[in-house]
Amino acid sequence: MIFGRKRRLRKDLPAIDIRKKPVKGLFGKTKLVPTTKKEQRRMKEKLMKQFPDRYYIDDLHELNSISGKDADLRWIDEIEEMEALFFD
């Protein structure tokens, strides 16, 4: 092929969540704080070099992005699949 193969995103690997970042709190504990879109873009650029075939949970609505609502409710789909497998 002249143009090469298109790199495909893998659904079997877990998505990387970049909606929140760990920050050191007041008394030494770490807490998760929401990131801005600018920070998400920077984090995504760095991670794309290391993991080019992964999906990312973010608020950027790009090709390899998953919205947070879809990721939070994915466990319900997995349970329904298991129930369908065992009870049918």
pLDDT in tens, 54-76: 888 888 888 788 877 776 777 78
pLDDT computed for residue 24 by the predictor: 94
pLDDT computed for residue 39 by the predictor: 93
Judged by average pLDDT, the poorest of 15-19, 32-36, 44-48, 59-63 is 59-63
**Is residue 16 within 8 Å of residue 51, measured between CB atoms?**
yes
The pTM score is 0.65
pLDDT computed for residue 1 by the predictor: 45
Please give the average per-residue pLDDT across 34-56, as a whole number.
91
